[in-house]
Chain A
Amino acid sequence: MKKTANTPISRRLVLGAAMVAAGLTISACGGGGATSSGSGSGGNVELNFVFWGDANRAKMTEAALRIFEKKNPGITVKTEYQDSAPYADKLATRFAGGNPPDVLAMANRSLLEYAQRGTLADLKSFPELNLDKVPETTLSRGEVDGKLYGLATGVTTIGMVVNKTITDQAGVTIPDDKTWSWEDYAKFATEVTQKTGGKVYGAGYDVATETGPIMLARQRGEDFYTKDNKLGVSEKTIEDWFQYSVDLRKAGGYPPAGFFEQIGGSPAQSYLAKGTVASQIIPINNFRGYNEAVEGEVVLLRIPGETSGERRGYSADPTMLWSIAAKSKHPKEAAKLVDFLTNDAEGAAEVLTQRGVPINPEVADSITPKLSADDKTFVDLMAAIQEEDLPPAYVYPKGASVVADTLKQLTTEVEFGRISPADAAKTFMEKSNAAINK
């Protein structure tokens, strides 16, 4: 009996501790057998390339990789992809096991978790990777202490999508998004709910995603994450972010507590596609997906408050980042692949704006004629935003994933009225600072 009590415990530990055991053995023999492929003349190098996303993204990526393989005889690329959450878990175990992929997609919030533990290569150290065309502001989003650990796959930002078919039917005019304030948005959303008889809620943005408060903080002249990798947002801003959703819910513009059940999910699974909400905040590179998933016409708008605040909240953010593992056995070939993904127009023609607007402006221009109308809407908005005077944005600090989780948890607490927005903001500051300063 005692024995049965013990075994399952160690089972729990298998994942954790097996990684350790496996990691020690694997890293002990690292550089041994597995490197054989690169040595022979004309020998074939196989790169392992991982990213998150859906089948559509994978298909487009594969098409580009075939071009890469054709241009670089002797290198084959083996890909793996998953949804973002399982991807993050698997990536961690692979690094821990001493068996990281060669080239990988990295989330903004995880970059420093990896980089500051010495697991990523400095991309500037590879002559194979040409960074001449990449703007400095884009490079800075993957840089720590002068070393480049992540290179943007493309740039994007967030925007408001509104189901215009619904608002037209309800007879509600969409305010001018160039100048609308957060109050305008609240009024608009509340009106939609009223005029549809409560069948459709005007607002359906996700309170728990950090990009929202990041934007609000920037509009108020605060950097959510500062240049020296700290938390820069004020407690008041976080409180107001929570309070705004509470007030909007009370007014009827935002759905009642417990309404949102889906965690993450594709455009097709969104509440906008279901037609139960009329507007939502999305990463705008996904605009096409939403317009295709939603019955009726979807319009892409700017986030409210851009002209009513102290400064612009917008920034051109890396959609995700390409990184090369420090332990990659084929760093040169890996750098060639990242160079291809960044600078090759033919490759970009296959992927288009799947991972944001290409960071090499020449490449971005070259694919413009090939874009569908919806993708063009995204690219045009991105370009228009970038023409404005945008404040600088910085790398997410180590601990940013804990900040994201904390925000999620507190959002629910506030949603069900278990704590006040003020208390939630206070807790947010404490927990986030603790995680970042650790």
Chain B
Amino acid sequence: MTVLTKQPPGAPTSAAAGGTPRIRPSRRRKQRSGYLFLLPWFLGMLFTVIPFFASLYLAFTDYNLFTEPNFVGLANFQAMFEDPRLIQSLKVTFIYTFVSVPISLAVALLVALVLNRGLQGLSIYRSVYYLPSLLGGSVAIVMLWRYIFGNDGIVNGFLGIFGIQGPAWVTDPQFSLSTLIVLNVWTFGSPMVIFLAGLRQVPGMYYEAASIDGASKWRQFRSITLPLISPIIFFNLIMQLIGSFQTFTQGYVMSGGTGGPADSTLFYNLYLYQKGFTEFEMGYASAMAWLLLMIIAIFTAINFIASKFWVFYDN
């Protein structure tokens, strides 16, 4: 299970914020000890790289976990086109991603802006808002979510006060995915913290100059804040996009591993897991993994190309 939970937070923000500074020769020694510290990661990489290539091979086989794999060429990839559940899983994953990522980024930015106004006890607020994103992918929180949105849960209890009969959020296929989208939006903490760091970098003099010129707050936000933090937005966008394409735990726990009700929460990775471990079609599952890699690569590439038109690097 732990292997399948959410990936750790990605690369340092500086990389996204426009190229690492060149390292001077005098820093060689420091660099060396840096690599030393990275050693465990390199060793760990072995456990990633080997399976990585193994799965590439298996994608072209009929491997079933028990008997020796036979090479089948592109059969797995061909079968995908005729697999209605695969299409369904793509649909679920795309809806989830394209609805929840923009919303959670907007919420994250909004909260970061509010927190950036120099509130007292900022660190407490920051922690409080950050906490859910540490927990969001965990089994316990998804279980809690099931209860909150359950038929007798808090949400329907609240709606009941106003005489509204709430729907079956978890068991009705019409609502189950939106319940998970809300969960994902709620875990806006990690992009928020990154936004907050980015907002702190915006020099105050720009705002001073702008306000002397009579620019409204909204104008300042649009013309100063947004352009200056656009690399951060870009970074968060990419990370959130990749993360949500790979959603697994939420769907698995919410539906008890089935992707139900009626495949409405059949995330791509959940289906991949079912194929590999309940139907024992590991060759097909490997092929699916590579398809997902390609999909993510394409969307990342599109974003990188598009970023030229809206991301502003101030250096």
Contacts and interface: CB of A to CB of B under 8 A. Distances in A.
A20 B63 contact: yes
Contacts of A1: 11, 15-16, 238, 300, 304
Best-surrounded residue of B256, B261, B286 (most CB of chain A within 10 A) = B261
Contact of A257 (B168, B297, B304): B168
Interface stretch (A86-94, A124-132, A168-176, A304-312): A86-94
B48 A85 contact: no
Nearest to A24: B54
Contact of B173 (A7, A16, A405, A416): A416
Contacts of B37: none
Contact of A95 (B55, B66, B171): B66
Chain B interface extent, by class = 35 or more
B246 A8 contact: yes
B50 interface: yes
A113 B150 contact: no
Contact of B285 (A5, A16, A85, A95): A16
Contacts of A402: 279
Contacts of B280: 92, 113, 117
Best-surrounded residue of A19, A23, A95, A264 (most CB of chain B within 10 A) = A19
A245 interface: no
Interface stretch (B110-118, B207-215, B216-224, B288-296): B288-296
Contacts of B173: 412-413, 416, 418
B4 interface: yes
A10 B52 contact: yes
Interface string A376-387: 000000000000
A18 B277 CA distance: 13
A18 B67 contact: no
A11 B55 contact: no
B100 interface: no
B203 interface: no
Given A13-B289, A16-B286, A418-B262, A85 B248 contact: no
A258 B171 contact: yes
B286 A10 contact: no
Interface in A1-60: 1-21, 23
A18 B282 CA distance: 12
A10 B150 contact: no
Given A7-B48, A113-B280, A418-B262, A258 B167 contact: yes
Nearest to B69: A20
Contact of B151 (A4, A9, A259, A263): A259
B258 A409 contact: yes
A10 B49 contact: yes
Contact of A14 (B48, B58, B258, B297): B48
B191 interface: no
Contact of B276 (A8, A16, A21): A16
Contacts of A114: 66
Given A21-B51, A118-B66, A413-B173, A12 B286 contact: no
Contacts of B151: 258-259, 261
Contact of B11 (A3, A93, A416): A3
Given A1-B15, A12-B269, A96 B66 contact: yes
B50 A21 contact: yes
Given A16-B282, A113-B280, A416-B172, A5 B242 contact: yes
B63 to A, nearest CB: 7
A210 B274 CA distance: 19
A14 B47 contact: yes
A164 interface: no
B260 interface: yes
Nearest to A413: B262
A261 B258 contact: no
Contacts of B273: 15
B174 interface: yes
B146 to A, nearest CB: 7
A21 B4 contact: no
Contacts of A258: 151, 167-168, 171-172
Given A11-B3, A13-B51, A257-B172, A20 B58 contact: yes
Interface string B183-217: 00000000000000000000000000000000000
Contact of A17 (B58, B238, B248, B278): B58
A11 B11 contact: no
Interface in B57-81: 58, 63-67
B54 A21 contact: yes
A258 B172 CA distance: 6
A330 interface: no
A89 B277 contact: yes
A114 B3 CA distance: 25
Contacts of B300: 1-2, 5
Given A117-B64, A257-B172, A17 B55 contact: yes
Contacts of B297: 5
B242 A92 contact: no
Nearest to A2: B300
A16 B269 CA distance: 12
Given A1-B238, A258-B172, A12 B272 contact: yes
A415 B292 CA distance: 32
Given A89-B278, A117-B64, A412 B3 contact: no
Interface string A406-424: 0011101101101000000
A12 B289 contact: yes
Nearest to B285: A16
Contacts of A405: 258, 274, 278
Contacts of B274: 405
B63 A18 contact: no
Interface of B: 3-4, 7, 10-11, 15-16, 47-52, 54-55, 58, 63-67, 146, 150-151, 167-168, 170-174, 238-239, 242-243, 246, 248, 255-258, 260-263, 269, 272-274, 276-280, 282, 285-286, 289, 292-293, 296-297, 300, 304
Interface of A: 1-21, 23, 85, 88-89, 92-93, 95-96, 113-114, 117-119, 257-261, 263-264, 401-402, 405, 408-410, 412-413, 415-416, 418
Given A1-B304, A258-B168, A405-B278, 16 more contacts: A1-B11, A1-B16, A4-B239, A8-B243, A8-B246, A10-B55, A12-B248, A20-B51, A21-B50, A85-B257, A92-B278, A93-B277, A95-B65, A117-B66, A260-B171, A415-B261
26 contacts: A4-B10, A4-B242, A5-B297, A8-B243, A9-B289, A10-B49, A10-B55, A11-B7, A13-B55, A14-B47, A85-B256, A95-B66, A96-B65, A117-B280, A118-B67, A257-B168, A257-B171, A258-B171, A259-B151, A261-B170, A401-B278, A408-B260, A410-B262, A412-B171, A412-B260, A416-B262
Q: Which 3 A-B pairs have the closest CB atoms?
A: A258-B168, A17-B51, A96-B65
